[in-house]
Structure 1
Amino acid sequence: MNILITGGTGFIGSKLIELLKTDGHSITVLSRSESKIENGVHFVQWMHNDKKPEQDLTPPDAVVNLAGVSINEGNWSEEHQKKIYDSRMEATDELLRILSTLRQKPDVFVNASAVGIYPTSETHVYTESSPEIAHDFLGKTVHDWERKASKMKEYGTRVVYTRFGTVFGKGGGALPLIALPYKLFAGGPIGSGQQWISWVHVEDVARAIYFAITTPSIEGPVNVTAPAPVRMSDLGKAIGSVMHRPHWLPVPSIAMKLALGKKSKLVLEGQHVLPEKLNESEFNFKHPAIRPALATILE
């Protein structure tokens, strides 16, 4: 297949490209850098002055939209939140414009999303059929992003919203922030410790995106989370066990809020999210349990 990717140089995108290359697919990445061919991947410059990347594109069979400023970066000031939001809206608008010019539309459009669309709760369990939508910054960002991506349905394209949980892996994601206190022998319960972490290994994220591309029955929202979410206290114990560090020093919520500002929400609040569609489609998770998954990253 010819597969077009935005955000292909990021934490998730780079893993996805490795997987797609292994299976021999033709990959084009829309990038802000100069156009080039590198390691068998065609990089086409976009979002730059008057560039018209559509002139250099072969109509793709599948599109994966991962573009956007990472929510794990910055301090979540009002300015930074605007960058997170605008980067997703502007990139998706430009991608939709590009695809509208192509004579042949893709069969499938996979748009990144997040479990942040669901309200935080220590008691509720969310699946793709849950109607609740959070009305905070993350909820609005994800809702608006999915709604914009849904415009591809007008061309008869199958649209999938991959709602990522808290992604763990080497070289990125949320784990470095959570594991740092343990490296300093100061790890322990964060906040109440009862908040849910619907986590997922980055390798399973890449595999789930590929699965969504190649499984015609999958469309709409897809929760990309491991089948066994954990409470923050249990995650901390697992990190301590894998790193051979103590899990003893409580970190009060106020300390996290002072250190991280509004971004502290990522570790102080959470959702219990299950990957119902992936389970029903018999997707095989490579990393279904938290401790073995952490061992591949932290050991």
Structure 2
Amino acid sequence: MNIVISGGTGFVGKQLAETLIEEGHHVYILTRSPEKKLDTKQVTYIGWLKKGFDPLSELPEIDAVVNLAGTSLFGKWTKEKKEDIRSSRMEATETLVDMIGKMSKKPKVFVSGSAVGYYGTSEQDAFTEDTTKRGQDFLADVTYEWEETAKQAKRLGIRTVLARFGIVLGDKGALPLMQLPFRYFAGGKIGSGEQWLSWIHVQDAAGLIAYAIEQDSIKGPLNVTAPSPRRNKDFSKTLAKTLHRPYWTAAPAPVIQKALGEMSTLVLEGQCVYPKKALDSGYQFRFPALSEALEQAL
């Protein structure tokens, strides 16, 4: 298949490209700086989102489009940062939907990135794709708007998948930051430790997206999380054991809130999310258990 990826040079995007290449597909990666990239037999870099670029004129008939573009959530959530988080996702998604609409032959599937932040936060409730009620905080608002924009592809008759990512574990992303206190023998739970962390290994994140491209039965929300979410205190204990470091120092919530501001919700609050649709459809996780996922990632 010919598959387009926006955000294909990012953490998850690179892994997805590798996975799709291994399966024999040709990947077209949309980037603002194609001149800095080197095409290969199975990867072609296409310029977009800058004046002078016309990706449609360079693309062949496309079978699938995957949208992973959007600025990182990491960093102090100033007013400008929050607007960048929102606008980067809207711009990329709107541009892709518009591009798809102009294709003479439409792709069979559009997989658009989203986040488990859609559900809001809770220490008691568990969420699956059957959950319809969304949260009422900043991230929930952004993911709702993001998904509503992506749903415009459905009106073009295209199977649309809303990939709600949890915390992705690998050599980049959140894990390098999460492990730092433990490497300096100062690791422990964060805040109360009761907040849920819904995680997935980067190989499974890519694997599940590739699987969703192939499976015609998968549409709508898709939780891209492992089947074993953990509370922060349990995640931290497993991380400490994996790194052969002590687990003893708690990071008080007020300290985290002062240091990170509103972004502290990412570590002090969470949600227990299960990948019901992935399991029901038969996806086989490579790393269903946290200990194995951390061993490989670290």
User: TM-score with structure 1 length normalisation?
Assistant: 0.97
- Residue 248 of structure 2 is aligned to residue 248 of structure 1: yes
Look up the match of 2:165. 164
Look up the match of 2:147. 146
Look up the match of 1:197. 197
Contact 1:196 1:270 in 2 (8 A): yes
- Residue 129 of structure 2 is aligned to residue 115 of structure 1: no
Contact 1:62 1:107 in 2 (8 A): yes
Look up the match of 2:107. 106
Q: How does 1:64-83 map to 2 (within 5 A)?
A: 64-71=66-73, 73-83=74-84
2:58 equivalent among 39, 56, 59:
56
Residue identity opposite 1:142 in structure 2: T
Contact 1:165 1:225 in 2 (8 A): yes
Look up the match of 1:14. 14
Look up the match of 2:279. 279
Look up the match of 2:235. 235
Which blocks of at least 5 consecutive residues in structure 2 are unaligned? none
Contact 1:119 1:132 in 2 (8 A): no
Residue identity opposite 2:182 in structure 1: Y
Looking at structure 2, the residues matched to 210 and 149 of structure 1 have their Cα atoms a distance apart, in angstroms, of: 18
Look up the match of 2:46. 44
Shift of 1:37: 4.8
Q: Deviations over 1:109-142 (max 9, x none)?
A: 0000110000200000100011121121110111
Shift of 1:92: 1.2
Q: Deviations over 1:246-296 (max 9, x none)?
A: 110111001111222211111100001000000101110000011111011
Looking at structure 1, the residues matched to 189 and 31 of structure 2 have their Cα atoms a distance apart, in angstroms, of: 40
Shift of 1:50: 3.3
Between 231-240 and 46-55, the greater mean CA deviation after superposition: 46-55
Looking at structure 2, the residues matched to 278 and 257 of structure 1 have their Cα atoms a distance apart, in angstroms, of: 35
3-state DSSP of counterpart to 1:173: coil
Look up the match of 1:86. 87
Looking at structure 2, the residues matched to 59 and 99 of structure 1 have their Cα atoms a distance apart, in angstroms, of: 11
Looking at structure 2, the residues matched to 226 and 162 of structure 1 have their Cα atoms a distance apart, in angstroms, of: 13
Looking at structure 1, the residues matched to 116 and 34 of structure 2 have their Cα atoms a distance apart, in angstroms, of: 33
Contact 2:201 2:297 in 1 (8 A): no
Residue identity opposite 2:104 in structure 1: R
Shift of 1:98: 1.6
Shift of 1:86: 0.2
Q: Deviations over 1:222-259 (max 9, x none)?
A: 11111010000001100110101111011100111122
Looking at structure 2, the residues matched to 117 and 154 of structure 1 have their Cα atoms a distance apart, in angstroms, of: 22
Looking at structure 2, the residues matched to 89 and 119 of structure 1 have their Cα atoms a distance apart, in angstroms, of: 20
Contact 2:162 2:221 in 1 (8 A): yes
Shift of 1:76: 1.5
Look up the match of 2:98. 97
Contact 1:65 1:111 in 2 (8 A): yes
Shift of 1:65: 0.4
Residue identity opposite 1:11 in structure 2: F
Looking at structure 2, the residues matched to 119 and 153 of structure 1 have their Cα atoms a distance apart, in angstroms, of: 25
3-state DSSP of counterpart to 1:38: coil
Look up the match of 1:175. 175
Looking at structure 1, the residues matched to 112 and 63 of structure 2 have their Cα atoms a distance apart, in angstroms, of: 15
User: TM-score with structure 2 length normalisation?
Assistant: 0.97
- The Cα RMSD (Å) is 1.1
Shift of 1:177: 2.0
Residue identity opposite 1:229 in structure 2: P
What is the number of residues matched between the two proteins?
296
Q: Deviations over 1:43-75 (max 9, x none)?
A: 01001113221111112100000011011x221
Stretches (4+) displaced over 3 A = none
Looking at structure 1, the residues matched to 146 and 210 of structure 2 have their Cα atoms a distance apart, in angstroms, of: 20
Identity %: 46
